[in-house]
Structure 1
Amino acid sequence: METTRPADTEEVTRMSPKALDGVRILDLSRILAAPFATQQLADLGADVIKIEQPGRGDDAREYGPPFLGDRADTGMAAFFLSCNRNKRSVTLDFTTARGQEIMHDLLEHCDVVVENFRPGVLDKYGLGWEGVHNRFPHVVMCSITGFGQDGPYRARPGYDGIFQAVSGMMSVSGIPDGQPGASPMKSGLSLVDLLTGLYATSAILAGLRHRDRTGEGQHLDVSLLDCGIASMSHYVENYLVSGTVPERRGNGGFGGIPSQAFTCSDDRMIFLVASSNAQFSRACGALGQPELAQDPRFDSIAARIGHRTELLEILEEIFRTKPAAHWLTELEAVDVPVGPVNDIAEALSDPHVRSRDLQMTMQHAQEGPIPGLRYPIKMSRTPVTEYTAPPLLGADQDAVLGGLLGYDAEKIAALAADGVI
C-alpha cells in the first residue's frame, strides 16, 4: 500500500506476502473491541505496536482464569490471548513529557492510531485528534468509545453488556413473553465489542484508502452504542417500516417460518430453516407429513408467518418423536437447511470445521505452543499464514525504540530507570 509517512530503515521479511505490508499501527487500546480490530489488521500484515501501561499493561491480561500456563503471573489470560496476537508490546507512560516525546517519535513512523480512552483524555497530553492531526496530518486516528465523541452520554463509561441493553439488542433476545422464564437476555458473546471491532477495521481500511489518494488522514469516531444499533439491521428496519416493536422469539427467527430450534426425542436440539415454499414442501415430506405443505394455513410464506404459532406447535410434536440424528439425516437428504445445536467442543470437532483448518498454533517463547483460531478468511494472493503469540508485557521495547526509532541502549536504560517505559 502506498504511504506518505516518512521512510525508515527497519526491514521486515516474511515468507509470504501480506495485504497490509508497509502499514504501521500505534495501538493504544485495551480490553476487547479495539484490540480485536487491531489484531485483524495485524493478521493482514500491519505492524501493530501495542502501547501498554508500565508495570501493568492491558487490563485484559488479568481477565482470567484461565491463564496461559495456569498462572496468573504470566499476564496471559486467555481473554488477552484471543485479541492480541501478531502484535509488538512497548510499555510507555505517555502522561509524562518524555513519554509524549516518544509518542511523537513513534507517530512519525505510523499510519494509524487506534485508541479507546474516554473523549478528551488524550487531549490532555497533546495526543488527541487535533494534536495528532496538526503535527502528523498523514495519520488516520480511530477513536473507539462507548457513546461516541459527542452527545449527552459521551463521558459515560460502558461495557458490552451495557450496550446490548441500551441498544435494544437484549430486547429481541430471550424467551418470549407469556412463557416460563420470559425476559430479555444478553448474548453470551461480547457481541457489541466484536461487531464494533469489525466495523472499526473496515473504517480504518477506508481511511487508509482515502489517505493514500489524498495524503490526508482523518478521525474515525466509532461508538459501541452506534455499532450495536446498526448491527440490529433488519430488526430496526422492520420497526421503521411498520412502527411495531419486534417481540422476542426465543430460538426462532424473524424471517420465514419455520426458522427455529426444535428439541428432539433425545433432548438434543437442531435448527431448521425451511422458509421457502419448496424447502417447506421437502421438509414436510422428510417429516412424514407431506399434507402439511398443502394445508391452506401453511401453503405460502405469508400464510405460514400468519399461522406461525399453530405450525410451530405441530412441528414441535413431530420432532419430539425421534432423535436428532434421525431428523438431521432425513432433512439433509432432501436438501433442507438444518444443523445440530452444538456446544463449542462439538463445533470444533465437527468434521467440516476440522477440514477448514480453523485452529492453529502459535509458539510462545516461555510457554511453548498456544492454541488459537486463525484469521477466518482464505485469501488467494495474500494469505494469512503467520501467527506470533501475543507478546509479554514490554517484550519489544528494544526492537521498537532501538530498531525503529534509533534510540541507543543508554537512552533506553535511562528511560526505564525513570519509569517512562
Structure 2
Amino acid sequence: MAVAPLAGRRVLDLGALCAQRPHALAASMAARLCAGYGAEVVRPLPSGGEPFAATPPLLPDGGSALDRFLNAGKRQGATTGRFDVAIGDRASLAAHAEEVPVKARISVFGPGEEDPPMTELGLMALSGLFGIVGEAPPAPPARLAGHQVSYSAGLAACMALLAALLAGGEEVVDVSLLDVAAWLNWKVAAGVMVMGSAPVRGGARVTWFTVPAKDGHMALVYQDKDWPPLRDLIGDPRLRDDPRFATGPARGANRAALLEVIGPWFAARTRAEITAAAQAKRVPLGPVKWPVELLDDAQYRARGFLAPDGMPALPVGWDGQRLTLEGNRADAG
C-alpha cells in the first residue's frame, strides 16, 4: 500500500471566498486534488452558502454535479486553526491565511498585476484559444467544454504545492490563469516557431468534424495516412476520382461537398456498426456518446474512471498506485 503523500496535512480551501469564478474553480480543483492526495481539506463558506450549490449541470435530485465533484472529500469549517497549505486568490489569502506557511495564489496575470474582471471565456480569448476552436469565420468561435482552463490552473497549483511542501519552509506559489491558458494553447506558439504562422480555426487542412449516424453522431479525427482506408471503407468512387478530395487541403476547402458524399453512408448505419467497420480497417473514428452511456463504456469500466453514480475519478497516483478518497487507501491501477 502506498502512503498518501499529503496524509496528516491540513489544507485551507478558500475557493468559495474567491471574488471571481475562474479563481474559485481553480482553487477548488487544487484543493480537490489535495484531498485525493490524502490531505484534510477544510472549505469555509461565505454567508450565502456554497457558491457552486446551484451551478449546472444539475443532478436529478436538483443538486449541482459541479458542487458534488469539486467538494468531494472536503469538509466545511472555519479558517481558524493550523493549516499547512492555503489556496485562494489574493484577497482571500490576505484576509484568512497570513499565518499559513505555504500558499497557492491564483490570479489572472501573476504577481505584481491587479486582477481585472475576468471570465473563462475572456481567458480563452486572451490566450488565443478562440482562434483555433470552432468553424471558420464568419461563424462564431466555440468555447472549450467544461472548465478546462480553470481546472488546468488548479492542477498546476496542486503540483506546485507538492513541490513547495517537499522543499519545506514558507513559500507563495503564484499561478497565472492566463499563463496556464497560453500553455494549453501551445500549438499556436509551436506553429509560429515552426511554420511562421499561427493555426486558425477552420483552416484549409481541417477535415475533422462530426457526422450524423443512424443513432447519434460519429467523430472523424484522422490523419492523411488514414484517408485511403477511410475512402475504401465508405466505397464511393467519387472519393477516389474527384480531385476535390485528392488531398487534405482540397478536402478541407471542399468540406461541404465531402459531407454530401460521405454523409449518407454514416446516416444509414449505427454507431456500433460504423465503429466495428472502422476498427477492422484501423481507421480512427469514434462514436459520440451520451453521458449516461459512459457509465457502461468498457474502457471507462476497465480504467475505473466513473463510479456507478457517475462521479469521475481523478488521475491521482503515487508510487505507481492510484489513491482514493475513501480512507486515502491505495488501489492498484
Using the TM superposition, give the Cα deviation of residue 155 of structure 1 relative to its aligned residue in structure 2, in angstroms: 3.0
Match of 2:87?
114
Q: Is 1:90 matched up with 2:69? A: no
Quick one: distance in 2 between partners of 1:359 and 1:126?
Answer: 35
1:286–1:64 CA distance, 2 compared to 1 (3 A): closer
Quick one: distance in 1 between partners of 2:326 and 2:310?
Answer: 11
Using the TM superposition, give the Cα deviation of residue 18 of structure 1 relative to its aligned residue in structure 2, in angstroms: 2.3
Match of 1:145 among 107, 114, 137: 107
| Residues 272-328 of structure 1 deviation map (CA, whole Å, 9 limit, x = unaligned) | 233152x332222222258957988877xxx52465324773355123233343432
AA of the residue aligned to 1:271: A
Match of 2:19?
none
What SS class does the counterpart of residue 42 from structure 1 fall into?
A: helix
Unmatched segments (≥5 aa) in structure 1: 1-14, 71-75, 93-101, 362-369, 389-421
> Structure 1 length normalisation: TM-score?
0.64
Alignment length, in residue pairs?
317
Match of 1:287 among 224, 227, 234: 234
Using the TM superposition, give the Cα deviation of residue 205 of structure 1 relative to its aligned residue in structure 2, in angstroms: 2.1
Q: Is 1:386 matched up with 2:317? A: no
What SS class does the counterpart of residue 61 from structure 1 fall into?
A: coil
> Structure 2 length normalisation: TM-score?
0.79
Identity of aligned residues (%): 25
Q: Is 1:375 matched up with 2:314? A: yes
1:379–1:333 CA distance, 2 compared to 1 (3 A): farther
Match of 1:59?
51
Match of 2:141?
184
AA of the residue aligned to 1:146: V
Using the TM superposition, give the Cα deviation of residue 333 of structure 1 relative to its aligned residue in structure 2, in angstroms: 1.0
Match of 1:156?
116
What SS class does the counterpart of residue 32 from structure 1 fall into?
A: helix
Match of 2:277?
330
Structure 1 residues 345-364: aligned runs within 5 Å: 345-360=292-307
What SS class does the counterpart of residue 263 from structure 1 fall into?
A: strand
AA of the residue aligned to 1:198: L
Query: In 1, are the aligned partners of 2:224 and 2:248 still within 8 Å (CA)?
Result: no
Residues 348-357 or 142-151, more deviating = 348-357
| Residues 24-72 of structure 1 deviation map (CA, whole Å, 9 limit, x = unaligned) | 322222242111111112112122222334x4444223536837854xx
Match of 1:23?
9
Match of 1:308?
252
Structure 1 residues 29-40: aligned runs within 5 Å: 29-30=15-16, 31-40=24-33
Match of 1:204?
161
Q: Is 1:272 matched up with 2:244? A: no
Residues 304-313 or 32-41, more deviating = 304-313
Match of 1:175?
135
What SS class does the counterpart of residue 359 from structure 1 fall into?
A: coil
Bigger CA radius of gyration: 1
AA of the residue aligned to 1:233: W
Query: In 2, are the aligned partners of 1:281 and 1:290 still within 8 Å (CA)?
Result: no
What SS class does the counterpart of residue 281 from structure 1 fall into?
A: helix
Quick one: distance in 2 between partners of 1:378 and 1:313?
Answer: 47
Quick one: distance in 2 between partners of 1:46 and 1:255?
Answer: 49
Match of 1:95?
none
